[in-house]
Structure 1
Amino acid sequence: MKNKITRRSFLKRSLAAILALSGLSVSGKYYTHEIEPKWLDINTISINNPLIPKGFNGFRIVQFSDTHLGFQFQLADLESIIGKINDLKPDLIIFTGDLMDHPNQYPFQKETIPLLRKLQAPHGKFCIYGNHDHGGYGSKIYDHIMRQSDFHVLLNANTSISLLNGDELFIAGLDDPVLGNPDFAAATAGIPKNSYTILLSHAPDLADTAATYDIQLQLSGHSHGGQVQIPFAGALITPPFAEKYKEGTFDIDQLKLHVNRGLGTTRLPYRFLSRPEITVFDLKSH
């Protein structure tokens, strides 16, 4: 997959955002730096699909994404979020990438592990790579932290979630397209036909390809919802592979896509009209 946006054009958009923010009042800057980045949105979505087995009716999945530890989001913020996630009583927890902003420069790698271990879900915790997780020779660092934190790292692979009555659904994880090597065939290999399948892809714009596979739900992050949005103009910063689907829920043929706005920030320590998000998915069988 080729990146259709050059680094130069992306930086131009970043500069445009900086210039826009520089025009804000002092109170506006305070809001975008101190208020909205901490103003959490817990977004609950009901997922209805005839392929969801009856045993999974009421099954709760909680997704968090894009913490970017070390930029604006810090360990104390992570600890607070972990408490909020546990309070939601998830059956399964999903992290869709970009744990640290610069993995090889982050000084509190060891301290991150006991915090992530506190996340509790009876059916497990699963994660995938984001582009920042690969960046700066961070791939092994991220893998070590997440595995030591009791997460299952899905790198172009899948696994099943099985109940005692034999009902099961599948979780597939795709590598990131910016610095990784996503492989849909490997990620979905061995999944029985007409099985309810959830794809984890850091990059939301891969949904158009995912819709050509037997996949019913895709969970993504990466975009930060644009991070800074201008009224009537929309997001000023849209990273590669998050241009088409920036935030929210979309129906693409049989596939439902949700793009989580993430929790942290990167490049600019601001959020405007793009609150940080935790997403709760309550499954409903027919």
Structure 2
Amino acid sequence: MSKPINRRSFLKRTFYTITGIIGLSGGTYYYAKHIEPFLLTVKTDQIFSEKIPAPFEGFKILQFSDTHLGFHYQLNEFQKLVNQINDQRPDLVVFTGDLIDAPNQYDKQNLQRCAALLNQIKAPFGKYWIYGNHDHGGYGTEIVRQVMELGGFRLLQNETVMVEKDQEHIVLAGLDDVMLGRPDLDQTFDNITDDLFSILLCHEPDFADRSQYYPVDVQLSGHSHGGQIQLPFFGYIVTPPYGEKYVEGKYQIGEKPLQLFVTRGIGTTRLPYRFLCKPEIHLYTLKQLV
């Protein structure tokens, strides 16, 4: 007897059929492959909490994610991304994983150019990053780490850092990748108390169902690409493991509640299309809740 499939499984099984339908329309195909993937947008959100210290009122955090360099996304576009990041004048910049689609196959000269471009990003309160599954995959762990270090980014791998402004602090935490790394919430939040405002960087958004039980006020994630292709009546077409429940936008999770923000990211993977799902960087402004 055949095993029944749910809606998500059905959508994934019919994925290539749908992309074939898209391909039948020359204009739609051209738009989804050559236009929309490069229509980078800036999404803005305000993060409210009574735990945000007064000096951090109006503090700007910029998140970018999932560039997947080498797969339909090249360094000329990456230069434009860097320029747009700097145009926002963020106080702090975070990268939430998947820098290069296949790190061990990426040209060494391009790795050097990528590091130089990352080094152009300006953020007076620091630049931080976490591993995504593609960063660990393809023997890429040390390759990506070296590129990010040369680019002036500090890795947060199951650890926290105190961001200080006018003798007040907020917590920035980062987890190792959920799929191919060794994420450890106990280690990460060992010395963190609930009275401190804390932001967690975690590549896979669905892990918020676990991180909600730790002293985390906000989780910033990527990984899902916003479904990458969205179709009316079908919804999100491409959703990876740990990016199926929380796909894009803002969610409130648990009793606290935990505020989860999921960005669509920049690049593509598996198939070089975006449809009704423009790439984005995300700018957050911290606001005291009074």
TM class by smaller structure:
over 0.9
Name the counterpart of 1:149: 151
Letter in 1 for 2:101: D
How many equivalent residue pairs? 276
Name the counterpart of 2:80: 80
1:4-15 matches, cutoff 5 A: none
Distance of 1:199 and 1:212 partners within structure 2: 12
Distance of 1:222 and 1:282 partners within structure 2: 22
Residue 13 (structure 1) shift: 5.7
Partner of 1:142: helix, strand, or coil? helix
Say if 1:223 and 1:261, in contact at 8 Å, map to a contact too. yes
1:263 equivalent to 2:266? Answer yes
Residue 274 (structure 1) shift: 1.1
Distance of 1:222 and 1:88 partners within structure 2: 23
Distance of 1:193 and 1:272 partners within structure 2: 41
Name the counterpart of 2:38: 38
Letter in 1 for 2:223: H
- Structure 1 stretches lacking a partner, 5+ long: 1-8
Residue 40 (structure 1) shift: 1.5
Residue 18 (structure 1) shift: 2.6
Letter in 2 for 1:276: P
Distance of 1:14 and 1:140 partners within structure 2: 32
- Structure 2 stretches lacking a partner, 5+ long: 1-7
Residue 184 (structure 1) shift: 0.5
Distance of 1:35 and 1:70 partners within structure 2: 17
Say if 1:62 and 1:94, in contact at 8 Å, map to a contact too. yes
Distance of 1:150 and 1:233 partners within structure 2: 41
Partner of 1:137: helix, strand, or coil? coil
Residue 193 (structure 1) shift: 3.1
Distance of 2:15 and 2:27 partners within structure 1: 17
Letter in 2 for 1:42: V
* Same amino acid, percent of matched pairs: 46
Letter in 2 for 1:273: L
Say if 1:172 and 1:197, in contact at 8 Å, map to a contact too. yes
Residue 220 (structure 1) shift: 0.1
Residue 189 (structure 1) shift: 2.2
Name the counterpart of 2:216: 215
Residue 227 (structure 1) shift: 0.5
Partner of 1:258: helix, strand, or coil? strand
Name the counterpart of 1:6: none
Say if 1:40 and 1:276, in contact at 8 Å, map to a contact too. yes
Letter in 2 for 1:19: T
Residue 181 (structure 1) shift: 1.0
Give the alignment's Cα RMSD to 1 decimal. Answer: 1.4
Residue 14 (structure 1) shift: 5.5
Partner of 1:23: helix, strand, or coil? helix
Partner of 1:22: helix, strand, or coil? helix
More moved, 274-283 vs 228-237: 228-237
Residue 16 (structure 1) shift: 2.7
Residue 192 (structure 1) shift: 3.2
1:134-283 matches, cutoff 5 A: 134-163=136-165, 165-253=166-254, 254-283=257-286
Letter in 2 for 1:86: N
Say if 1:16 and 1:236, in contact at 8 Å, map to a contact too. no
Letter in 2 for 1:18: Y
Distance of 1:71 and 1:82 partners within structure 2: 18
Residue 55 (structure 1) shift: 0.5
Name the counterpart of 1:5: none
Partner of 2:138: helix, strand, or coil? helix
Residue 120 (structure 1) shift: 0.3
- Provide, for residues 141-166 of structure 1, a one-character-per-residue CA deviation record: whole Å limited to 9, x for no partner: 11111111110100111101011x31
- Provide, for residues 183-212 of structure 1, a one-character-per-residue CA deviation record: whole Å limited to 9, x for no partner: 001122222331000000000001111111
Q: Which segments of structure 1 move beyond 4 Å, counting only runs of 4 or more? A: 12-15
